[in-house]
Structure 1
Amino acid sequence: MRLALVTCFNADWHFGKVPSPYVPLNLLGLAAVARRSGHEPVVVDPTLALLEGRVGDGPEFHREVAELICESRPDVVGLTTMCNSYPQTLALARQCRELDPDVRILLGGPQASVVDVATLREFGWIDAIVRNEADRSLVRVLDRWAAGDDLAGVAGTTWRGPDGGPVREPAAPLLQDLDELPFPAYDLYPFERTLQDLAPVEAGRGCPYGCTFCSTNVFFNRDYRIKSPARLITEMRHLRDAHGFTRFDLVHDMLTVDRRWVLAFCAALLDGGQGFEWACSARTDRVDDELLATMAAAGCRGMFFGIETGSQRMQPLVRKRLRTDAVLPVIRSGTDRGISCTASLIVGFPEETTEDAVASLDLALDVLQLSPDTQAQMHLLAPLVGSPLYEEHREELRFDGHSSDISLFLLDEEEIATVTRHPDIFPSFYHIPTPHLDRDLAKAISAATYTCPTLFLALRTAGADLRQVLTGWTRWQHRHVGPEQLRPDYYLYGFVPDLCRYLAAEVLDGLGPCAPVLRDLMAYVELRYALQRRLTEEGTVFRAFDCDVRELSAALRTGGGLDVERVASDLLFVNLTVSRGRGYAFLEVSVPRTADPLVRPGDRLEIRDPVRQLLSRPELVIRNTSQRRAFAAKHHLTERHVTALGLRREPAGTATG
């Protein structure tokens, strides 16, 4: 059978980022087993199609993607599902059915697996769902449909029976020896068009832990499995030889559970002398200095740590059971060895208090201060079907239009109506009430970590009590931000300007001599926020600051203070965005400060042939037509950046502001 496998959407372009396709490792693995059994798979990536201009970012997006899918005249359309884009996946599936009434619609992946019966009951255009790991069940589904049979007895499936209702077959047994799997069909994905230099490789499956907020244990049944070092390295070599990759993301929820395996893998990498670099996920209590040193020597350059909460009181309540005082030493140890570390935290647990939430923010800021290369995430809690938290609180779920960033695909009115009708199918767009924590404060902590962490580092460094700052913010917000402003996209587009208004009015004056520096930093943060979210359409934006705001930002990321030298800095922001569907792209360049200023506020600036300049030289020649003079400013874009932003497609012309 002809099988079109469709990736999940990447919604980044909705909040200011250039659409970033990701390699659909799960689909490439399924394509390999389908092809081995004589079927004809193709892979369709809607995010890549958007990036390349083959579909538009507008009301016809789903229709255009469906037309793209149906171009290959598939017998079956298989869509993988995640909680964040499930409403859109179902809408896309409906468009495919309307274009081709005879095509079979098959869902798989984490979200459909846990809401299978409800999905078939409510959305009549879905024919079947392959639950959990589909390495075996997918082929059996395709074989049955090719023969004109139904799916009776096919383990691991939920299908539409003769009466139209859902039929749920028993679960399929898990594949224990992952080395049996063929290499994913990497040849079906156009790596060269995504400009990615990091390839994902499945290292294993399953996490043996039982955190209350996580639904992974449902999908993998807490059955920890991992490929042999030899098989994994052979797959990495294949990607190097076939596609030129030497950097890899080893996909496994918890790579370091088995210390002996990690040491054997590292030894094999070192013995082979491949020079590979790789990243993985781990727990801070399943690594130590010795293991981190070995991993770094073997090429580990990135680690993701799920911390979840900075409150020691909360750790056992969410069944994570980490020692919060051991988190920073572990991340520092990794950072010192050249491993870029990311700490992931969650705010909005039902038992959480304001003190607990601020402790999580403090830990996130501590992580960010270790190094410019460390990252911190702060997710709003999402009730995931199958997680212990969901099962305990499923009758309490509330919808206020603001969902966790893991479900941050902005919904239109029709999708909101669908989500609110079916909380059992789309619970990740809901929240669990937090009686001891103001939900607006939780939203602010999450938004601040993603949008303006250096500003909160500066406030903390200046001696501000973050608990008072945040509780003051919620009071100010309730007074000054009306319901009409608190749309679903508020924390993407409205939060930072309002936060800065609040800080200027009620906080900065109380910080004494630090206030002027903080005002400059706040203006810098707010301007970057506006540019990143295209809140301004200006081609060029010039700002003069009384201190070097970029040096200040860098100092704050390495534990420095606010006592930077008060050297004025002039910055020019150049908008290079090609189209709204591509997100934003802007340059930030320093303008030399001279006795006779090269740029004054209000001057008209012109950049001739920007693409040619970006491709051929490290500087932009900027003409100040108001003063009838020109100057050069260094830029930071590489040729790869220029290509990724689509600037190559633009005819040489003039960008003005």
Structure 2
Amino acid sequence: MRVLFVNPPVLPSGAVPPPLSIATLAAYVGPSCTSVRVFDGDLIFFDPAARTRHVLRERLTAELKEFRPDAVLVTSMYNNSAIAGLMMATVKAVDDTIKVLGGGPHFGAQPKETLRAVEYIDYVIAGEGEAGLKALIEAWVQGSDPSACPNLAWRENGAFRQNPKGELLDLSSLPNVWAASAGALNLQAYRDTISQTSPHRSIYTEAGRGCPYNCNFCAPAQFWDRRYRVKTPDQIAEELRYLHTAYGYDAFILVHDLLMVDPRFVRTLSKRIGDLRLPIRWMANSRTDLKHARDFDNLAKSGCWRLFYGVDSGSARIQRVMNKELDPDEAFDVVQSAVLGGVGAVCSFVVGHPEETAAELSASILLGARLKVAGAENVQFHRLRLFPPAPLAVGEKLTELLRNAELDETTLRLEYPLPEITAEERATIERNPRFYAGYFPPASKAGTAEEISQVELFFTQAIAFAPLTVYTLGQMSSVNIVELFQAHLAGYGFIDRYVFNPSDISIPRNWAALKTRLEAMAAAAELDVDEAALVSALLDYEDSRMRFVHRQPANSAAILWQDETAVTRSKVAVDRVIEAMLIGGRPDPSMRAEVTMLFKRGSDAVVVVG
């Protein structure tokens, strides 16, 4: 049995990560096959000149004719599912006797909708793929009836058929994924996409699956049946050792929906990684209410350089509505403690929940600004999207939320793996809102779908560049920061996503656009003279800092402007504003003062020298 795994392109930015789920499947079913191979569209699309349908079809056709697979399994994310359908059509055009299977976060979450929407697919592996795929391959090899295979869905005489789920996999039974899939996957080709100037060589590698919590917007927890499972610490440590010694990877994103849930496991894993005595580092997902996951000193000593926290809302009520149940104040304290303990933090918010008001969304934005000032490396705002099997995105709830939803063509175009979308592809997506629900954003009490999209775009970058200004303006404005922003959009127009690059927070052009809009928002905020002067002084300070950090020409406040050091004038005691933010206080005009600030390359410290 010859099996080809196909990873449709996702439009990578920068280095191409090896497809982890496909590598795991190839490693697991490889012993049951004569030969296994991986065709990765992302690796092809690493070359911008190759990002065309013609090249993709041509390369896949050549692969099919040379390898001659008996079965092709195509995985899918939501943004590459239409391209996955194109690749399936290519398979059938080359040889319509090849069995075509689908799986992954999209097809595997919606098997019935997939078989209805995707013409050239024969089978879908629903949910976790390893056991069902292995049983199916073995049935084909033995010539037995595959219809009893767990997790399998298919069409039969025009009707939909789906078998019951099998037992979830014992992850300790997995081999070293990267060593076992080496014959199918050329890791060196991925390693070679990393820039030689990059300080680290990063890779995603699996630590486990399943989050036991039940946030109503989250699809992965439901996909894995909310069962917390992990590989053994020895398995994980061995994969890290192998990847480092064989390929030079030294920064590991340990993939797990919520790895830090089990304190005994985390302690053992930290020790195993530390015992490797290799120059490597790792990061994982955590929650701010996991009291046992706050031993930041020991985590840092084991090489943990960053934790990802889904804070998700600054509103206690929305925390309850989302079924997240975090305390926003506790979340701030934990992130600050992590940073002080030597572990970086990335914080994420979900915005535009159907029940969220503008005031509650504003609370998230102001909390995000405080987290940035407390040392979070990155604060992200993500619009709520309807991805089954999240509780909000199934059954009658999904039907209700889609009732008046419209296709978000801007997001579709930004995420699409190809430079353009054909009219046929667009029409296919628009005709299938239940299948492509992620592109049909729900209404929110906080604003229209497009307004929430603009909040996501603007404030992710505004907080990266100007958290002091955003926070102070939000505290002093006569209306909340979201209402102020919406009024600004009404007067100045929406931000063009194609000009204002949402994927790169280091572009000076973006800062120029941000600064102009922040100035306009401040002018409309009904501030008194002293308040307006404070906001203006903060924006000037953040302009100076942005210019230094991103090696741009100095502004008129500069006294000394060198590559490693700069000295600049400021009309605000920035340290006092930061002190107020760290306690959730309100900056006030008394914080205005003529001071001199020192910037040093590589340091985030705020240094007042006079």
TM-score normalised according to structure 1 size: 0.73
Question: What SS does the corresponding residue of 1:152 show, helix, strand or coil?
Answer: helix
Instruction: Report the Cα offset of residue 81 of structure 1.
Output: 1.4
Instruction: Report the Cα offset of residue 68 of structure 1.
Output: 5.6
Instruction: Report the Cα offset of residue 123 of structure 1.
Output: 1.9
Instruction: Report the Cα offset of residue 198 of structure 1.
Output: 2.5
For residues 341-360 of structure 1, the aligned pairs below 5 Å read 341-360=345-364
- In the other structure, the counterpart of 1:247 is 251
- In the other structure, the counterpart of 2:176 is 183
State the distance in 1 between where 2:52 and 2:250 align: 37
- In the other structure, the counterpart of 1:166 is 160
Identity %: 24
- In the other structure, the counterpart of 1:129 is 124
Which residue identity is paired with 1:459?
Answer: T
Instruction: Report the Cα offset of residue 125 of structure 1.
Output: 0.4
Instruction: Report the Cα offset of residue 205 of structure 1.
Output: 1.4
- Give the conservation status (yes or no) of the 8 Å contact 1:309–1:315: yes
1:219 to 209, 219, 223: 223
For residues 309-458 of structure 1, the aligned pairs below 5 Å read 309-371=313-375, 374-391=377-394, 392-397=397-402, 398-401=405-408, 408-409=415-416, 412=421, 413-458=423-468
- Give the conservation status (yes or no) of the 8 Å contact 1:255–1:281: yes
State the distance in 1 between where 2:534 and 2:272 align: 56
- Give the conservation status (yes or no) of the 8 Å contact 2:407–2:440: yes
Instruction: Report the Cα offset of residue 520 of structure 1.
Output: 8.9
| Pair 1:45-2:40 in alignment | yes
Q: CA offsets, 1:372-420, max 9 Å, x none? A: x621111000111121112324333112425779993377243321121
Question: What SS does the corresponding residue of 1:301 show, helix, strand or coil?
Answer: strand
- Give the conservation status (yes or no) of the 8 Å contact 2:209–2:228: yes
| Pair 1:98-2:103 in alignment | no
For residues 46-61 of structure 1, the aligned pairs below 5 Å read 46-52=41-47, 56-58=50-52, 60=54
Describe the shift of the 1:544–1:338 C-alpha distance in structure 2 as closer, same or farther (beyond 3 A): closer
Question: What SS does the corresponding residue of 1:545 show, helix, strand or coil?
Answer: coil
Range 347-356 or range 215-224, more displaced: 215-224
> RMSD in angstroms over aligned alpha carbons?
3.9
Instruction: Report the Cα offset of residue 126 of structure 1.
Output: 0.7
Range 138-147 or range 422-431, more displaced: 138-147
For residues 139-158 of structure 1, the aligned pairs below 5 Å read 139-146=134-141, 151-158=146-153
- Give the conservation status (yes or no) of the 8 Å contact 2:369–2:471: no
State the distance in 1 between where 2:72 and 2:574 align: 50
Which residue identity is paired with 1:449?
Answer: F
Which residue identity is paired with 2:321?
Answer: L
State the distance in 1 between where 2:594 and 2:84 align: 50
Instruction: Report the Cα offset of residue 525 of structure 1.
Output: 7.7
- Give the conservation status (yes or no) of the 8 Å contact 2:318–2:360: yes
- Give the conservation status (yes or no) of the 8 Å contact 1:34–1:40: no
For residues 470-549 of structure 1, the aligned pairs below 5 Å read 470-481=482-493, 492=502, 502-505=517-520, 507-508=522-523, 511-512=532-533, 515=536, 518=539, 545-547=555-557
Range 387-396 or range 422-431, more displaced: 387-396
Q: CA offsets, 1:132-161, max 9 Å, x none? A: 222222122223344566631111111233
- Give the conservation status (yes or no) of the 8 Å contact 1:256–1:287: no
State the distance in 1 between where 2:574 and 2:346 align: 17
- In the other structure, the counterpart of 2:582 is none
Q: CA offsets, 1:509-534, max 9 Å, x none? A: 862365377379679989x99xxxxx
- Give the conservation status (yes or no) of the 8 Å contact 1:255–1:280: yes
Describe the shift of the 1:329–1:501 C-alpha distance in structure 2 as closer, same or farther (beyond 3 A): closer
- In the other structure, the counterpart of 1:201 is 205
- Give the conservation status (yes or no) of the 8 Å contact 1:121–1:165: no
Range 467-476 or range 383-392, more displaced: 467-476
State the distance in 2 between where 1:301 and 1:69 align: 40
Q: CA offsets, 1:342-392, max 9 Å, x none? A: 111100101100111111111222221123x62111100011112111232
- Give the conservation status (yes or no) of the 8 Å contact 1:343–1:377: yes
Which residue identity is paired with 1:343?
Answer: C
Q: CA offsets, 1:175-226, max 9 Å, x none? A: 2x31111221352232432327223332111111111011223321111111
- In the other structure, the counterpart of 1:27 is 22
Which residue identity is paired with 2:84?
Answer: T
Instruction: Report the Cα offset of residue 101 of structure 1.
Output: 3.0
State the distance in 2 between where 1:454 and 1:281 align: 21
Question: What SS does the corresponding residue of 2:379 show, helix, strand or coil?
Answer: strand
Question: What SS does the corresponding residue of 1:320 show, helix, strand or coil?
Answer: coil
- Give the conservation status (yes or no) of the 8 Å contact 2:154–2:161: yes
Which residue identity is paired with 2:123?
Answer: A
State the distance in 2 between where 1:118 and 1:350 align: 24
The count of residues paired between Structure 1 and Structure 2 equals 547
State the distance in 1 between where 2:519 and 2:211 align: 46
Which residue identity is paired with 2:163?
Answer: E
State the distance in 2 between where 1:379 and 1:280 align: 19
State the distance in 2 between where 1:200 and 1:564 align: 48
* Structure 2 segments unaligned to the other structure (5+ residues): 195-199, 504-508, 580-590, 600-610
Q: CA offsets, 1:19-44, max 9 Å, x none? A: 43122111111111222123311122
State the distance in 2 between where 1:448 and 1:487 align: 10
State the distance in 1 between where 2:597 and 2:210 align: 53
1:116 to 107, 111, 114: 111
- In the other structure, the counterpart of 1:11 is 11
- In the other structure, the counterpart of 1:238 is 242
Which residue identity is paired with 1:434?
Answer: S
State the distance in 1 between where 2:261 and 2:538 align: 46
- Give the conservation status (yes or no) of the 8 Å contact 2:378–2:464: no
Question: What SS does the corresponding residue of 2:68 show, helix, strand or coil?
Answer: coil
1:66 to 60, 64, 69: 60
Which residue identity is paired with 2:296?
Answer: L
